Structure 1
Amino acid sequence: MKRTVSLMLIALFGLTLLSGCNTMRGMGEDIEQGGEAIQREAS
């Protein structure tokens, strides 16, 4: 029983880390697009 719970927690933690990476990547892309829009407007 303890082993099953431990494996479930490890899997949940791993999935949380992976989704966090995707979120940060998406945020970085959004910031980059915002910067490019500012550069276009400035020129």
Structure 2
Amino acid sequence: MSKKAAFKAVVHGKVQGVYFRLSTLRKANAVGVTGTVRNLRNGTS
């Protein structure tokens, strides 16, 4: 049986226009992490 862990991270700051979500997705996939990256209503990711 494999073990799973969960966590939530909120990033504050200027991340628009720097491909933050795409680069985060690619790095996560490279190490087998699954999940989502999204912008919140207040502009954070």
State the TM-score bracket (shorter-chain normalisation): 0.3 to 0.5
Normalising by structure 2, report the TM-score: 0.33
- Comparing both structures, which one devotes a greater share of its residues to helix? 1
- Larger Rg computed on CA atoms: 1
Higher relative contact order (CA 8 A, sep 6+): 2
